[in-house]
Chain A
Amino acid sequence: MDLNRRELMIGAAAAAAGALASPALAADPVQIEMFFPVPVQGALAAQMQKLIARFNQEHADIVVTGAYTGSYDDTNLKTRAAIKAGKPPALALMSANFVREYAINDEAEPFDDLIVSGGSTADAFFQRFWTPLHPNARIDGKAYGVPFQNSTPLLYYSVDAFKDAGLDPERPPVDWGEWLAAAQKLTKADGSRVGLMFPGTYDYCGWLTSGLAMANGGQYYNHEYGGEVFYDAPSTVGALSFLDALVNGAKAVPPGVSDANACTTAFFSGRTGMMMLSTGALSFVRSGMKSPYKVAFLPKALRHAAPIGGGSLICPKGNSPERRAAAWTLVQWLTSPEVAGEWSRFTGYFAPNKQAYELPEMKTFLSEHPDAKVALDQLQHAVPWFDTFQVVAVRKAMEDQVQAILSGAAKPAEAAAKAQRAAEALLAPYVNQTALKSWA
């Protein structure tokens, strides 16, 4: 409030000075910043700056400065600090599963009033986005996030390795039994090839684990309420046992924690037959993999499930109505079918806006890139992304245990129980204020 008044006064003074100097400068464009991370390698930051330059050219009344802000975690840190310091960006591209925490902490402003004043409703507006994207964006009925770039995990496999191991490249593993068997067959005794690799690093680890637990019939966390996780539920313990069997039982996955670099490098050089990696890596794999490869749905246990990943646009708290309105114009432009489609083709992410796929460029692209088509078809099995109170810490409570299993230092049941206890301790402050509120 205080700040707004000060800004107003400065603005008024500047306007007065401007009026004295040259009356023609009365309608200054609104200046806003947008924070954006770059989670996949390449010229993405440069491409985003090009998009922003195009937006600025098309909108004389708005000047957007794009600020590259590191990884999703760095972007979160910078946005939080900027809000606390009274310098919130008008728009931030946030990891989609951080949005709930911004809502819980009252650090973001929902877009509903802007949607309504544009003559629409939030329900109508959200119809353009794939349904599994909604739970991470619309928190407690309010539109805190607008999906911009999204991905799911995907099974990549080498055609040559499949043939070499006597597997049919036209018939990728469909369920966990076939998956384990294929991984075993692909593993060479001399260590020159493993069956499967996937990143076990923070963030990736939790994402993939949640996907396995949900494929195993579970929920993994309460999708509606940020205070509950189901780390020690049978569906999760079963998923951990499957990982344990792959790594320590069948020895078809290298022990320990690999990162995405190690996975792609091994995949390109034929040292792993399969890898489980984001659809956001499609462009990168396409350019790096010299021998034929294919992609397939994540195999199912009780059902297919592919957790959503990626980023949504949020408007941090503390922006003036003018800046919010300018940010909303930018949101609509960035998530329009044309721009969303262009970004999808450039990055490998799928376009959250379904209408993008009706454009002729997109139809041509999909017919030329069958791997992108598989990623899109898998969306029918997409499930929302893990989002809770203190999401990073609660996610790590499980990831530390999964990493211990991958290194052979823990067994599934105990690991699950430990993760659950740690997560509950982290969630307690929120739970005690909400679900366990004292009525005495």
Chain B
Amino acid sequence: MTQAFGDQGADQAPGRGSAPAEWIGRNPVAALVIAVAIILALWLVLAPWPAGFEDVFGKKRLFINALFNGITLGGLYFLVATGFTLIFGLMRNVNLAHGSLYLFGGYMGYEAGQWTGSWLFSYVIAFVCCALIGMAMQFLIFRRMEGQDLRQTLVTLGLSIIFSDLMVWVWGGNAIQIDTPDYLVGPVPTPIVVAVKSSGEAVFLQYPRVRLVIFAASVVIGIAMWLALHRTRIGVMIRAGVDDRDMLSVLGYRVQLLFVAVFAFGAGLAGMAGIVGGTFQSISLGEDSHFLLASLVVVIVGGMGSIPGAALGALIIGCSEQFGLVYFQNYATVLSFLIMIIVLAIRPQGLLGRR
């Protein structure tokens, strides 16, 4: 916990709201470069491409689809990784069973959907089930070995081995697809031109409604979490705990309760993400380690314990995976790890992480 000293005030902007303006004033060149990049990116997405462009990047439809898939996949990764990063930030516990919670949530959501027929209700079930497991883990095990980072991590590892084997036992090795509810089936027209017909008529992109809705939901969850962390009493306690856990408990706050709550919330989010994953793709044996690794990479890239970092990392990793699938098929998954290695080499604490 050496980072607790000295740099507490470093990232706090002096006045609320003036931070971006001040930053632009200090770095005019960087701000200009970023502005130009944003305009270029918008043009790349919205306008039809000139002829020479498609030779280099392939069909625009492919590019835009990869971009949209990447961003929506990023939304899913964000849901999984925020819980992971919150738990790590507050309790210094690397929860290697996080992928198992994701998978368990997916299976519970599937069962609940089969039973009640309601897709939305299955989210409640998945959240509650995973939150209960998270609470039990924190209350029964991790409370007893506080401050022993490595031992806690090893316990989560043991739990993940057991969980994944038990889930194979109950649900077997076959992939399960969660049905999209009727009101979310089908494509949505978007105002993005992907091609121009020979008659001069523009072709607009159609995109699955369910992916857009889920992405919007994860953005809402992200903003709500940010507001909860920065505008409520519990949020202040959590942020104080991330900075200096011992001090918070010395001040008389009930840290143990806070730990249980945060663990339950993070686990519940992972469980809900399981349903999202089951609807987007499918859930099956092995998805637990896939999503554990995804959240590891997201959190390492974005910065340990930082929620905006998790959002940024999720976006980067989601996009890199989808673009990799389109442009470098042989190395698709390796690409996101390559990004991780580069970030580690340049900025070991992650893009938005603090030392």
Bound together: no
Interface set of B (CB-CB < 8 Å, partner A): none
Interface set of A (CB-CB < 8 Å, partner B): none
